A and B are shown apart, each in its own frame.
Chain A
Amino acid sequence: MGIDAGYAERTHEGMGTVMTHRAFGPNARRALEVVVWRATELEAVMSRFVPESEISTVNRLAGASDAAVGPEVFAVLKFSTELSRSCERLFDVTVGPLVDLWAVATRQLAEGAGSGGEVDGAGSGADGWHRAASIAAIPDEDEIRRCLQLVDYADVELDPLRGRARLRRPGQSIDLGGVAKGYAADAFAAELRHAGVRSAFTNIGGNVATVGGRPDGSPWQVGIRHPRASGELIAAVQASGVSVVTSGDYERFFVDGLGVCRCHILDPRTGYPASSGLVSVTVVAESSMQADALSTLAFVAGLDLGITYLAQHDIVGAVLIDENLSIWASRSLLPRLVVAGGAQVRTF
C-alpha cells in the first residue's frame, strides 16, 4: 500500500488530554472519523468527571446500590480488579478519593501560583494536567489515612450476568485514569483495522498504539521522552502492531511545603505520590490497556519489584529509567531499542 493511496491525520482534545491519530490507506479519512466518534463515546461512559457517565453513576451510588454498566466499562473494571488482585495493591482503580484529596491541594497551589492543575492517582493519568512547580501544602495526614481506608479494589462488586457494578462503601470512587486511555487506544486500533487500515498509529496523551508498521512496511519509530531533559528523547522503540506506553514523573509534578518533589502518580498503598526511585517506565505490549496499567504499576513498584511483576505478564518488553538516569530494558526489547547518546543499557 503506497502513501498516495490515502492519508489522514486528526488531532483533537478528549479524555482530559490531546489525541493524534494518523492513518494510511484508502479508508483512512473515514476510519479516523469513526475513531474520533469512539473517543467521545468512551469518555461519555468512563470519565468520572462526566456526571452522567456509567462510572459517575457507580461512584454516586457507592455504599447504596449497584448501577448498570455496559460491556466496555465492565471489561475495564474486570481487567483492573484482576490486576489489582495480582499485584498487592500497587494498582487500584478505587483510588478516586485519594486523587480528589491531592487534587484539591494542588488546585489550591495552582490558584495561588496563578497556574492550573490537578494530580492524578495511581492508575489515574487521564483527567487533568499539571506543570506548576511551586510550594504546596500536602494534605493533612489524617485525611490521607481516611481516604486510604476507602481505597480497596476488593470492594468493587461485578455482576456479569446482569451487567452491573457496585462499590460496597459510601465515599468510595473509581478512577479509570490508568486504564481508560489504554482501553481507548485498543478500541481505536480495532476500529482502524476493521476499516481496512493496515498502517496507522494513535497517540492518546502519550499512550501510543500502532496498527501495522509504516506504509512501506518498516516499523514505526516511537520515541521515549527524556525524563529530565525537556524536548529530548532518551530512546526510541520500533513498533509494529503493538502499543508503547510511558509513565513518568516529569511534567506533572509539584513541590510540597517541605520542598519534596511530588509526582502526579499516587501510591495506593501509602496514599502519597509514588517515590520508588524510578522516573520513567515504558511498557511495550500488544494490549494498550495492559501497557497502560503495567507502566503505572511498575512506576509505583520501583525497579526490582516492577521487574518482578512485569515478568509475570505477556508483554513485548519494558524500559525502566531510575533517578540516576540508568536505563534498564528487557532483553526481549533490545533488538527494537535504540538509546540516544550511546548510553549504556542494563538488561533484565
Chain B
Amino acid sequence: MPKVIIYALAGIAVLVVAAIALLTAGLSAGKNVQVGAIDFSRLKDGVYTGAHRAGRWTNEVQVKVESGRVSDIRVTKDVMFPKPEWTEQTMKSVIERQTLQVDVISGATVTMKAYLKSIENALEKAK
C-alpha cells in the first residue's frame, strides 16, 4: 500500500478520533448532572450570568430577576448544536415554574379541612 494512502487513512483516523472526542466530551458528565431545586422564593433583583462547561454542551445564560421573579432568560453562549425550539421551551418552563413556588395559596384550605376530617375519621377507626 502506498505510503500516501497510509498517511491519509491515519490522518482520517486521527480526525475521527478527535471528532468523537470533541462530540462526546462532557457527555458522561452531562448525563450525571444533578440539577438542584431552585428556591424561587428568595431571589434578589438583578441580572445574573451562569455557565455550565461540558464539551459541546457548554453554554452560558443570563437570568434577569425583577421584583423577586425571573422575568427573562437569555442564552449568551449556546451549545454547539442548539435546537431553538428546545431552548425556548426550557427557558419558558423555568419562568412558568415559578408559579408553583408560592408562599401561600388562596382558596385552598377547605382541602386542609377535608384532610383533617379524613385523618380524624381514620383515627376514629384506630380507636
Binding site for B on A (CB under 8 A): 13, 17-20, 22, 116, 129, 131, 201, 203-208, 214, 216, 218-225, 230, 233, 235-238, 244-248, 251-252, 280, 282, 338-342
Partner of A252, one of B42, B103, B110, B112: B110
Residue B116 interfacial (CB < 8 Å): yes
Given A218-B68, A252-B110, A338 contacting B98 (CB threshold 8 A): yes
B48, chain A: closest CB distance, angstroms: 15
Which residues from chain A contact B117 at a C-beta distance below 8 Å? 116, 129
Which DSSP category, helix, strand, loop or mixed, fits chain A's interface?
A: strand
Residue B100 interfacial (CB < 8 Å): yes
Partner of A223, one of B40, B67, B104, B112: B104
Which residues from chain A contact B68 at a C-beta distance below 8 Å? 214, 216, 218-219, 221, 238
For this complex, into which size category does the number of interface residues on chain B fall?
A: 20 to 34
Residue B56 interfacial (CB < 8 Å): no
The 10 A-B pairs at the shortest CB distance, nearest first, are namely: A246-B107, A218-B68, A223-B102, A206-B107, A223-B105, A246-B106, A221-B102, A129-B113, A236-B99, A18-B112
Given A129-B114, A251-B114, A225 contacting B107 (CB threshold 8 A): yes
Which DSSP category, helix, strand, loop or mixed, fits chain B's interface?
A: helix
Question: Other than the known A214-B41, A224-B106, A233-B100, what 16 A-B pairs have Cβ atoms closer than 8 Å?
Answer: A18-B113, A20-B104, A129-B113, A206-B108, A221-B68, A222-B104, A223-B99, A223-B105, A230-B111, A233-B102, A244-B106, A245-B106, A246-B106, A247-B107, A282-B107, A342-B96
Task: Give Cα A272 to B109, complex, Å.
Answer: 24
B102, chain A: closest CB distance, angstroms: 4
Are B102 and A342 in contact, CB atoms less than 8 angstroms apart? Answer: no
Q: Across the two chains, which residue of chain A brings its CB closest to B100?
A: A233
Q: Across the two chains, which residue of chain B brings its CB closest to A264?
A: B110
Residue B69 interfacial (CB < 8 Å): yes
Are B109 and A221 in contact, CB atoms less than 8 angstroms apart? Answer: no
Which residues from chain B contact A230 at a C-beta distance below 8 Å? 111
B82-127, CB < 8 A from A: 92, 96, 98-114, 116-117
Partner of A17, one of B42, B100, B105, B110: B110
Are A235 and B99 in contact, CB atoms less than 8 angstroms apart? Answer: yes
Residue B44 interfacial (CB < 8 Å): yes
Task: Give Cα A303 to B38, complex, Å.
Answer: 37
Q: Across the two chains, which residue of chain A brings its CB closest to B65?
A: A218
Are A219 and B102 in contact, CB atoms less than 8 angstroms apart? Answer: no
Task: Give Cα A236 to B69, complex, Å.
Answer: 11
Are A338 and B69 in contact, CB atoms less than 8 angstroms apart? Answer: yes
Which residues from chain B contact A233 at a C-beta distance below 8 Å? 99-100, 102, 105
Partner of A222, one of B98, B105, B109, B110: B105
Are B103 and A201 in contact, CB atoms less than 8 angstroms apart? Answer: yes
Task: Give Cα A282 to B113, complex, Å.
Answer: 20
Which residues from chain B contact A19 at a C-beta distance below 8 Å? 109
Q: Across the two chains, which residue of chain B brings its CB closest to A338?
A: B99
Task: Give Cα A156 to B77, complex, Å.
Answer: 69
Residue B14 interfacial (CB < 8 Å): no
Are A203 and B104 in contact, CB atoms less than 8 angstroms apart? Answer: yes
Residue B43 interfacial (CB < 8 Å): yes
